[in-house]
Amino acid sequence: MRILNRDQIRTALAAVDLMAEIEEAFVAYSEGRSVVPPVGELTFDEPPGEVHIKYGYVRGEDYYVVKIASGFYDNPKLGLPSGDGLMLLFEQRTGRLASILRDQGLLTDVRTAVAGAIAAKYLAPERVERIGVVGTGVQARLQVEYLRPVTACKDLVVWGRSEESLGRYRRDMEASGYRVETTTDAGRVARGANLIVTVTPSRQPLLASADVGAGVHVTPVGSDTVGKQELEAAILGRADLVVVDSRSQCTERGETAHALAAGLVEASALRELGEVIRGGRARTSEDQLTVADLTGVAVQDVRIASAVHRAAASRQEAEID
Amino acid sequence: MRILNRDQIRTALAAVDLMAEIEEAFVAYSEGRSVVPPVGELTFDEPPGEVHIKYGYVRGEDYYVVKIASGFYDNPKLGLPSGDGLMLLFEQRTGRLASILRDQGLLTDVRTAVAGAIAAKYLAPERVERIGVVGTGVQARLQVEYLRPVTACKDLVVWGRSEESLGRYRRDMEASGYRVETTTDAGRVARGANLIVTVTPSRQPLLASADVGAGVHVTPVGSDTVGKQELEAAILGRADLVVVDSRSQCTERGETAHALAAGLVEASALRELGEVIRGGRARTSEDQLTVADLTGVAVQDVRIASAVHRAAASRQEAEID
DSSP A118-140: HHHHHHS-SS---EEEE--SHHH
> B47 in contact with A at a CB cutoff of 8 Å?
yes
In three-state secondary structure terms, A279 is: helix
Cβ neighbours of A232 (radius 10 Å): 24
Rounded CA separation B119/B112 (Å) = 11
Q: Give the mean model confidence (pLDDT) for residues B130-142.
A: 97
Banded model confidence at residue B321, pLDDT cuts 50, 70, 90: low
Rounded CA separation A127/A195 (Å) = 10
Residues 6+ apart with CB under 8 A from A316: none
Rounded CA separation B31/A51 (Å) = 24
ipTM for this prediction: 0.87
Interchain pair A3, B93: CB under 8 A: no
Banded model confidence at residue B315, pLDDT cuts 50, 70, 90: confident
What is the distance of C-alpha A218 from the center of its chain?
A: 13
Q: What is the mean pLDDT of chain B?
A: 95
Interchain pair A95, B53: CB under 8 A: no
- Output the furthest CA–CA distance in chain B (Å, rounded): 61
- Check residue B223 and give its pLDDT: 79
* Closest CB from A44, A57, A75 relative to B42: A57
* Strand residue runs (E) in chain A: 2-4, 34-35, 40-45, 48-58, 63-72, 83-91, 97-101, 131-134, 155-159, 179-183, 195-198, 216-220, 241-244, 271-272, 289-293
In this structure, which topology does domain A113-297 adopt according to CATH? Rossmann fold (3.40.50)
Q: Give the mean model confidence (pLDDT) for residues B160-189.
A: 97
**In chain B, pLDDT over 90 holds for what percent of residues?**
91
Architecture of domain B115-297: 3-Layer(aba) Sandwich (3.40)
Interchain pair B92, A44: CB under 8 A: yes
Interchain pair A72, B57: CB under 8 A: no
* Contact by Cβ (8 Å): B161, B128: no
Long-range contacts of A13-16 (CB under 8 A, 24+ apart): A13/A110, A13/A308, A13/A311, A15/A311, A15/A314, A15/A315, A16/A304, A16/A307, A16/A308, A16/A311
In three-state secondary structure terms, B212 is: coil
Rounded CA separation B235/B212 (Å) = 7
Q: What is the residue extent of each domain of chain A?
A: 2-107+299-314, 113-297
* Contact by Cβ (8 Å): B49, B141: no
Residue B253 has pLDDT above 90, yes or no: no
Residues of B in contact with A78 (CB under 8 A): 94
- Check residue A321 and give its pLDDT: 65
* Closest CB from B3, B93, B95 relative to A3: B3
- Rounded to 10 deg, the angle between the B18-30 and B298-314 helix axes is 140
Same CATH topology for A2-107+299-314 and A113-297: the answer is: no
> A77 in contact with B at a CB cutoff of 8 Å?
no
Q: Give the mean model confidence (pLDDT) for residues B181-210.
A: 96
pTM above 0.95, yes or no: no
DSSP secondary structure string, A22-47? Answer: HHHHHHHHHTT-EE-PPPEEEEEETT
A3/chain B closest Cα distance in angstroms: 10
- Check residue A38 and give its pLDDT: 87
Residues of B in contact with A73 (CB under 8 A): none
Write out chain A's pLDDT in tens, 321 residues. Answer: 899 999 999 999 999 999 999 999 999 999 999 999 988 999 999 899 999 999 999 999 999 999 999 999 899 999 999 889 999 999 999 999 999 999 999 999 999 999 999 999 999 999 999 999 999 999 999 999 999 999 999 999 999 999 999 999 999 999 999 999 999 999 999 999 999 999 998 999 999 999 999 999 999 998 777 788 999 999 999 999 999 999 999 998 889 999 999 999 999 999 999 999 999 999 999 999 999 999 999 999 999 999 999 999 887 777 776
> What confidence tens digit (pLDDT) does each residue in A42-74 have?
999 989 999 999 999 999 999 999 999 999 989
Buried b (16+ CB within 10 A) or exposed e, B113-130: bbbbbbbbbbbbbeebeb
Q: Which residue from A52, A57, A67, A68 is spatially nearest to A95, judged by alpha carbons?
A: A57
Rounded CA separation A97/A99 (Å) = 6
User: Residue A128 half-sphere exposure, CB side, CA atoms within 13 Å?
Assistant: 26
CATH for B2-107+299-314 is: 3.30.1780.10
Residues of B in contact with A49 (CB under 8 A): 92-95
Interchain pair A40, B53: CB under 8 A: yes
In three-state secondary structure terms, B126 is: coil
Rounded CA separation A251/A296 (Å) = 13
Q: Which residue from A104, A116, A102, A114 is spatially nearest to A18, judged by alpha carbons?
A: A114
User: Residue A249 half-sphere exposure, CB side, CA atoms within 13 Å?
Assistant: 22
> What confidence tens digit (pLDDT) does each residue in B82-119 have?
889 999 999 999 999 999 999 999 999 999 999 999 99
More confident residue, A149 or B319: A149
Q: Give the mean model confidence (pLDDT) for residues B31-39.
A: 93
> Which residue of chain A comes nearest to B51, CA vs CA?
A95
> B318 in contact with A at a CB cutoff of 8 Å?
no
What is the distance of C-alpha A315 from the center of its chain?
A: 27
Residue B57 has pLDDT above 70, yes or no: yes
DSSP symbol at A87: E
Residues of B in contact with A43 (CB under 8 A): 35
> B63 in contact with A at a CB cutoff of 8 Å?
no
> What confidence tens digit (pLDDT) does each residue in B287-311 have?
999 999 999 999 999 999 999 999 9
